[in-house]
C-alpha cells in the first residue's frame, strides 16, 4: 500500500493538481478520502481506481507498483524475441532459451549498474 500512496502523490503532482482537494473535486470524493489514500491508510475501490487512472492519465499497473512506466507499457517477451532475432534465430529451442536467459541476466546487470549511477 505504501507504493500505491507514493505513486499516487507523484502522479497527482505530475498531472498538476495543486492539492488533494483539487483531485478530490475531480473525482467527486472528499478530500479526506484522497488524504487516506495518499497516507496509505485506505485504498480506492475498483471503480475509483479506474477513475483515478483516467484523471491522472496513468495505468493501474503503475499505481499498483507492477510497472515503472506511468503509462504501463509492457511488451510480451515473445515480441521482444521477435524484435531481437527477427523471428529467425536459427537456434534450437533449447539453445534459444539458454541465450534468452543470458540476455535477461545481462539486462538485470546493466539495470543495477544504471541505478547505482543515479
DSSP of the chain, one letter per residue? -HHHHHHHHHHHHHHT--SHHHHHHHHTS-HHHHHHHHTTS----HHHHHHHHHHHT--HHHHTTS-SSTT-----HHHHHHHHHTT---S-HHHHHHHHHHHHHHHHHHHHHHHHH-
pLDDT at 33: 97
Q: Nine-digit cell at 97?
A: 532459451
pLDDT at 99 over 80: yes
Cα angle 101, 80, 87 (rounded to 5 degrees) comes to: 95
pLDDT at 87: 67
pTM of the model: 0.61
Find out whether 63 and 7 touch, Cβ atoms under 8 Å: yes
Does 31 or 74 have the greater pLDDT score?
Answer: 31
Find out whether 108 and 101 touch, Cβ atoms under 8 Å: no
CA dihedral sign, ordered 40, 46, 51, 54: positive
Q: How confident is the model at residue 85 (pLDDT cuts 50, 70, 90)?
A: confident
Q: How confident is the model at residue 76 (pLDDT cuts 50, 70, 90)?
A: low
Q: What's the whole-number average pLDDT of the chain?
A: 86
Does 102 or 25 have the greater pLDDT score?
Answer: 25
Which residue's C-alpha cell is 502522479?
11
Per-residue model confidence as pLDDT tens digits over 17-71: 989 999 999 999 999 999 999 999 999 999 999 999 999 999 898 899 888 878 7
Amino acid at each position: 500500500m505504501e507504493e500505491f500512496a507514493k505513486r499516487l502523490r507523484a502522479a497527482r503532482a505530475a498531472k498538476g493538481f495543486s492539492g488533494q482537494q483539487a483531485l478530490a473535486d475531480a473525482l467527486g470524493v472528499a478530500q479526506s478520502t484522497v488524504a487516506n489514500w495518499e497516507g496509505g491508510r485506505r485504498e480506492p475501490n475498483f471503480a475509483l481506481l479506474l477513475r483515478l487512472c483516467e484523471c491522472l492519465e496513468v495505468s493501474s499497473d503503475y499505481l499498483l507498483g507492477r510497472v515503472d512506466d506511468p503509462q504501463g507499457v509492457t511488451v510480451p517477451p515473445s515480441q521482444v524475441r521477435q524484435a531481437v532475432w527477427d523471428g529467425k534465430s536459427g537456434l534450437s529451442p533449447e539453445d534459444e532459451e539458454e541465450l534468452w536467459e543470458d540476455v535477461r541476466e545481462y539486462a538485470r546487470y546493466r539495470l543495477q549498474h544504471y541505478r547505482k549511477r543515479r
